């Protein structure tokens, strides 16, 4: 009886090991990549504890770059559906339009995400201006415009990735990596809000529980 249970346990562990090896080979991940990923995780945790504001800024930048990357890949698909050439200024105009709309609809924009981090930068700019007596510091409207730009690019990221994934599925290709990237973008945004709330607070500079 005992030997039977032992064999079943060993069989399950062997199956799990083989499954993990298959998944690793599927994503072309070797031991060097795992070491590099582990190193990056350690560095990220260290920076998170040492300088959480830097992590939030890098997170916002990564969302913007990921959004632009998906927009670039969605352009040929849109050109095929629209039957027209899409220029750079078309994309720039679209980003500016969405940013302006978010900037006009102040309350809904602040209710989406990154509101705590935005308010923190606004308060930081005001405190710097009051402490140094300067008049040429960043205006609150400029900070709001920057964060609305990030929000606009994020919304375009979701739309472009959805179109890209649909096109990949129609061609019989694997669309799951695209959805994974969108999930990663959502995770980055949520992580930024969580880090902001824990280390910065609700944009007032007072951390949660402090």
Q: What is the pLDDT of residues 31-88, one digit of tens each?
A: 676 777 777 778 777 776 777 778 888 888 888 998 888 888 888 888 888 888 888 8
| Residue 171 DSSP label | T
Same domain, 62 and 20: no
What is d(CA 167, CA 155) in angstroms, rounded to the nearest whole number? 19
Residue 79 falls inside a structural domain = yes
Instruction: Give the per-residue pLDDT at 133.
Output: 54
First to last CA, the chain: 57
Kindly provide the b/e burial profile for residues 132-164, where b requires at least 16 CB atoms within 10 angstroms of the residue's own CB. Answer: eeeeeeeeeeebbeebbbbbbbbbbbeebbbbb
Structure confidence at residue 19 as a pLDDT band (50, 70, 90): very low
Total domains in the chain come to 2
Same domain, 147 and 186: yes
Same domain, 195 and 104: yes
| Residue 159 DSSP label | H
- Would you say residue 111 has pLDDT above 80? no
Residue 210 falls inside a structural domain = no
**Residue 40 or 92, more confident:** 92
Query: Worst-scoring range by mean pLDDT, 24-33, 114-123, 141-150, 170-179?
Result: 24-33
Instruction: Give the per-residue pLDDT at 174.
Output: 84
């Amino acid at each position: 009886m005992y030997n039977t249970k032992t064999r079943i346990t060993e069989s399950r562990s062997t199956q799990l090991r083989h499954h993990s090896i298959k998944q690793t080979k599927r994503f072309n991940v070797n031991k060097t990549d795992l070491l590099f990923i582990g190193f990056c995780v350690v560095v990220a945790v260290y920076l998170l504890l040492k300088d959480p504001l830097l992590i939030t800024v890098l997170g916002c930048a990564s969302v913007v770059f990921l959004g632009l990357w998906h927009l670039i890949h969605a352009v040929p698909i849109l050109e095929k559906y629209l039957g027209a050439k899409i220029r750079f200024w078309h994309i720039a105009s679209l980003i500016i339009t969405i940013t302006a709309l978010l900037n006009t609809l102040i309350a809904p924009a602040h209710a989406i995400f990154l509101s705590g981090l935005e308010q923190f930068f606004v308060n930081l700019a005001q405190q710097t201006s009051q402490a140094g007596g300067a008049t040429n510091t960043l205006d609150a409207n400029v900070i709001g415009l920057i964060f609305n730009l990030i929000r606009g690019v994020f919304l375009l990221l979701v739309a472009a990735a959805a179109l890209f994934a649909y096109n990949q599925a129609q061609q019989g290709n694997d669309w799951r990596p695209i959805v994974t990237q969108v999930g990663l973008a959502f995770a980055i945004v949520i992580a930024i809000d969580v880090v902001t709330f824990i280390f910065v607070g609700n944009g007032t500079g007072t951390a949660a529980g402090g």
